[in-house]
Amino acid sequence: MPPPYATPTVPGTPAQIEAALADLAATFPALCTLGEFPNRSVENRKIHFLRIANAPQDGRPAVVLTGGVHARESAPPDALVHFAQNLLVSRTTGTDIVFPATSCRPLPAGPAVNYPPFTVPADEVERVLDGVDLYVAPLINPDGRLFDQLHPPSDPIGAGWRKNRRPHADPARVGVDINRNHDIAWGFEDYYDMQVYLSFYQNGPASTDSRRETYRGPSAASEPETANVQWLVDEARARYFVDVHQFGRKVLLCWGIEDNGDDPSMTFSSPAWTGRRDGLRPGSPGLPPDRPDYREFVTDSPPHFVRKTLGTIAGEMRDAILRSAGADPAVSTASPQRAHSTYDVGQSASLYHPFGGPVTGTTDDYAFRRQFDDPARAPVFAFTIETGHEEESGFHPDYDSPPGHYAKIEREVHAALMALCNFAV
Amino acid sequence: MSLVQIEGSEDVLRSVQGIPELHLVRSSLEARSGHRYKVAAYGSDRAVEAAVAQGAQVKVLLSSEGVDEHHTRMSAVIGQGYTERGEV
């Protein structure tokens, strides 16, 4: 009988996360395979992922889940490991995944919000695992995570470490932001008209300065950790992709590089638009009068209606989180549970508008682009979830209960990812 | 560095963007009623004071001492286990 796996009370180290994955593959060999990424981390660590499926892919849609891209975002890797553990135990024993009633004390001083039990029925788990090819890669950036864990805030802003650990003789220049390093509009000077972009926004979509947290790296996919994500997206032929981050209670859909549009001549690969995409919102006073407002093409035609379906899936993830908190998404009655569990759905490109513009080189945009590179891959639905909130201790949620910050985030991750998997079947 | 919520008009939040030692967390931005916005930030005490001086409403969620204590405590617990298990 497989052991029950408890909700973690301390963030797992990279070695512990690796051991947890190996344990699952050894404990559930009929359901679960340990895969090794082709590239070791910058600091030479092997990185693994799980494939959870009880049969060859054989036409089943691949769902790829990643976490731990940004080092200081403590919860996603642990939540993804526990998600995998819970699925496998449930599928093996035929028991429901049960989160008991719990409470969470939001900062700065509560009061505690009580949440009812939340259950994922065993037959739902069975349907999902019979219906999808599930890949769980909980820790893309192990070097960064360990550095953040073992070094109390050593960065100038005290928020913790974000990047990987690409070495540099100057300690202030160590690391690359993996989530700006992917091969999608990495060369933002070619993608946008940067003069127009910066006429409205204070900062660019990524940084070329290695001292900055959003440093894009020396070249597209230069980092082994980035190359691993890109490899998995293609190796698995991902149909659904979610990168789990912290924090902000957001379910974000692609694109992140520009507003979505319906003109098939406006694509990231079109040379006619090199250096001419505005990066601005519709109606912006900065839009050049001599050209149309650029919007990155997303098909919305049969049979997949990708643009509409992105919104549908994101909405289902948002609603599932609300239901897990004991709030009915169909009814707008105010309650503490609703107030502290409402995730906003929106497009990545406008996440920070009007204070910041679209961004480039992200994991989800890379996954999303693959359907346009190869129409035979269509469709691909890609998302980022920003779990947790500043009232749940920001990047480093408290794993103790009380206050119950991590435990709440973990429930929300389970709810959202089950909603995605249910849609995918 | 404190963990704070900063709320204000678009003009106020644009002005606080440039304050040194204040790191606004992009993914935490929320629009509020009355053309106001809320964003979380990590900031030094003087950065927080500067934001208030610019007209922002600031709510401290975790003081500098609280952020440091929390991370130091977790680092110690994690580090102890890491050492005991002989991890690399």
pLDDT digits (tens, 9 = 90+) for A337-362: 999 999 999 999 999 999 999 999 99
pLDDT of residue A55: 78
Give the integer Cα–Cα distance in Å for B4 and A241. Answer: 32
**Would you call A330 helix, strand, or coil by DSSP?**
coil
Collect all residues of chain A within an 8 Å Cβ-Cβ radius of residue B64. Answer: 158
Mean pLDDT of A16-37: 96
A390, B21: Cβ pair inside 8 Å? no
Choosing from A223, A225, A386, A392, the catalytic residue is: A386
Give the least confident one: A183-192, A386-395, B58-67. Answer: B58-67
pTM of the model: 0.97
pLDDT of residue A58: 79
Residues 249-278 (A) with a CB less than 8 A from some CB of B: 250
What is the DSSP-derived secondary structure letter of residue A27?
H
B29, A248: Cβ pair inside 8 Å? yes
Kind and range of the H or E element at A137? strand A133-137
pLDDT tens-digit profile of A9-23? Answer: 999 999 999 999 999
B1, A15: Cβ pair inside 8 Å? no
The residues, any chain, with a CB within 8 Å of residue A77's CB and separated by 6 or more, are A11, A12, A17, A67, A68, A138, A139, A145
B42, A396: Cβ pair inside 8 Å? no
Mutation target among B28, B39, B54 for the A interface, most CBs of A within 10 A:
B28
Domain ranges of chain A: 14-424
Closest by Cβ to A248, choosing from B27, B44, B68: B27
Closest by Cβ to A248, choosing from B28, B70, B79: B28
Please choose, from the candidates A164, A330, A166, A357, the residue with its C-alpha nearest in 3D space to the C-alpha of residue A257.
A357
**Would you call A162 helix, strand, or coil by DSSP?**
coil
Q: Respond yes or no: is residue A386 known to be catalytic.
A: yes
E strands, A171-323, where? 238-246, 250-253, 260-261, 296-297
Mutation target among A13, A17, A157, A359 for the B interface, most CBs of B within 10 A:
A157
pLDDT of residue B87: 86
Give the integer Cα–Cα distance in Å for A254 and A190. Answer: 20
Please choose, from the candidates A65, A79, A57, A70, the residue with its C-alpha nearest in 3D space to the C-alpha of residue A12.
A79
Fold of B2-63: Alpha-Beta Plaits (3.30.70)
pLDDT of residue A377: 87
Q: Which amino acid is at A379?
A: P
Give the CATH number of domain A14-424; options: 3.40.630.10, 3.40.30.10, 3.40.47.10, 3.10.20.740. 3.40.630.10
More confident residue, A378 or A348: A348
Interface confidence, given as ipTM, is 0.95
Q: What is the CA radius of gyration of chain B?
A: 16
**Would you call B39 helix, strand, or coil by DSSP?**
strand
pLDDT tens-digit profile of A357-373? Answer: 999 999 999 999 999 99
Give the integer Cα–Cα distance in Å for A253 and A234. Answer: 19
* Residues of chain B above pLDDT 90, percent: 67
A158, B40: Cβ pair inside 8 Å? no
* Residues of chain A above pLDDT 70, percent: 98
